[in-house]
Amino acid sequence: MEFRIYLRMLQQGWWLIALSALAALALSLVSLYQDTPLYRTSARFIVSPTTAITYERDIIYSLDTLDQRSIISTYAEVLNSDRMYHDVAAALQLGAEEIPYYHVSAVVLPEANILELSVEGPDPYTTALLANGVGQRAIDYIQLIYRKVYDINFLDPAQIPSVPFSPQPSRDISLATALGIMFGVALAVMREYISTPLEALQRMNMIDSESKAYTRRYFERHLEKELAKSGDLDLSIGLVQLNGLHDIFDNMPQPVVQRLMRRVIEILRQQLRGSDIVARWETLSFAIMLPATPIHPASQTLDRIRRGLAEPLLLDKSGGQIIMLDPYVGVAEAYKGEPAGILVRRAEEALQVARLKGTRSALFSGDSEPNGRSGSPSSRPELPEYENYMRGGPQ
């Protein structure tokens, strides 16, 4: 159900999603047009013991020292130094305003005595010159210090890049469009939540999961609103209790309970109009609201429901298990200006009268007295059990 709700929100807010995607696409295109292309190139260097070492023992020792990574990490820091970069930039006659646009970084490749120097900048030719120039400058400087122990030489000189690495039109446009769609979806959902009346939002969460009828909370709120706007129109409510399930309901598997409750709702709705409301009142009882219905038609409707529920009920089409619901019903008609709580209480009293008398149904008409099934006026039955119930005693 939640999926269908959100799908409806997206269908109603499709224009927001499309507009957000188009706006993101337009901003991406403008950004691509204004951004300066950046190029990247790299040079690689290899570090090894100097050829001046001739003794095998010295060669092995220098290789062991090189494995400790301190020497090659020192070389990487030399390549990264600002001194190397500024010396080469000055040799290439780069202006002070151009220097910040180029970035130099050197890393040690894992599990190898290889250094990689990368340079990024707006001009591909200058980028390659900087990479090779910084590399050669670092080689000259390092050889002054370690000339008798280790050599560092170009492995792969930097090449002039032909394609900028940023921006990437296909990637940037796809990413911007996806973000625009996500933003549009969020707007569509927020718009629906803001514009939807509070009652509709509450209704989404006020459906009984087992029976798919309304919950008691929703029924009571709707009854209050209906009584407030009904005026002189007749309104009746009924309560239906399934006494046949008292001893077995708690031990029934959840799938069986769900199937049984939904079958009960189907039987109820077969006898009701589209404007009537059905709600799960308690675990084994249901409430029915009959707008614009006087007490006599309401009692006839509830009696048809009682007779429908009194039939043996098959839990599955295979005809395996049969359940007798043993329904009781109580009906009450609303007074003009009567609070919803009092009307509900009179319907509950009518249901209790039906249970105690064993008549299956009882009603309270507009004169607030319990009547027989024919609807003719009668006095409150003088039953000890009923008096105990009205005083809060055992049911």
Distance CA 72, CA 70 (A): 6
Q: Could you give the 3-state DSSP secondary structure of residue 42?
A: strand
173 with 294, same domain: the answer is no
Pairing mode, if any, of strands 313-314 and 285-291?
unpaired
132 with 252, same domain: the answer is no
Q: Which residues span the domain enclosing 132?
A: 39-156
59 with 149, same domain: the answer is yes
Q: How many domains does the chain have?
A: 3
235 with 310, same domain: the answer is yes
Q: Which of 25-39, 191-205, 281-295, 315-329 has the highest mean pLDDT?
A: 281-295
* Residue 29: per-residue pLDDT: 87
Is 207 part of a structural domain of the chain? no
Is 306 part of a structural domain of the chain? yes
148 with 297, same domain: the answer is no
* Residue 128: per-residue pLDDT: 95
Specify the CATH number for the domain of residue 121: 3.30.70.1130
301 with 360, same domain: the answer is yes
Q: Which of 256-260, 283-287, 357-361 has the highest mean pLDDT?
A: 283-287
One-letter amino acid identity for 244?
G
pTM > 0.75: yes or no: no
Is 395 part of a structural domain of the chain? no
Is 217 part of a structural domain of the chain? yes
Distance CA 224, CA 162 (A): 76
**Could you say which DSSP state residue 363 is in?**
E
On the 0-12 / 13-18 / 19+ scale of CB atoms within 10 A, 274 is exposed
Residue indicated by tokens 């609201």: 289
* Residue 381: per-residue pLDDT: 36
Q: What percent of the chain has pLDDT over 90?
A: 34
206 has a pLDDT exceeding 90: no
The predicted model gives 140-146 an average pLDDT of 82
H helices, E strands: number in the chain? 13, 12
Instruction: Pick the range with the lowest mean pLDDT from 32-41, 58-67, 256-265.
Output: 58-67
Please name the residue ranges forming H helices in the chain: 2-12, 14-34, 56-67, 70-80, 82-91, 124-146, 169-195, 198-204, 216-230, 254-270, 295-310, 340-357, 384-390
Largest CA distance in the chain: 126
The predicted model gives 4-28 an average pLDDT of 85
Q: What percent of the chain has pLDDT over 70?
A: 78
123 has a pLDDT exceeding 90: yes
What Rg, from alpha-carbon coordinates, does the chain have? Answer: 43
165 has a pLDDT exceeding 70: yes
234 with 381, same domain: the answer is yes
Is 201 part of a structural domain of the chain? no
8 with 136, same domain: the answer is no
275 with 176, same domain: the answer is no
Is 161 part of a structural domain of the chain? no
360 with 270, same domain: the answer is yes
pLDDT band at 181 (very low <50, low <70, confident <90, very high): very high
Distance CA 77, CA 58 (A): 26
253 with 175, same domain: the answer is no
Mean pLDDT of the chain: 81
Specify the CATH number for the domain of residue 327: 3.30.70.270
272 with 373, same domain: the answer is yes
Query: Closest Cα partner for 115 from 134, 102, 89, 99?
Result: 134
360 in Cβ contact with 328 (< 8 Å) = yes
Instruction: Pick the range with the lowest mean pLDDT from 42-51, 60-69, 130-139.
Output: 60-69
Give the CA angle between residues 14, 19, 23 to the nearest 5°: 150
pLDDT in tens, 95-114: 888 888 999 999 999 888 89
* Residue 316: per-residue pLDDT: 66
pLDDT band at 392 (very low <50, low <70, confident <90, very high): very low
The predicted model gives 60-89 an average pLDDT of 78
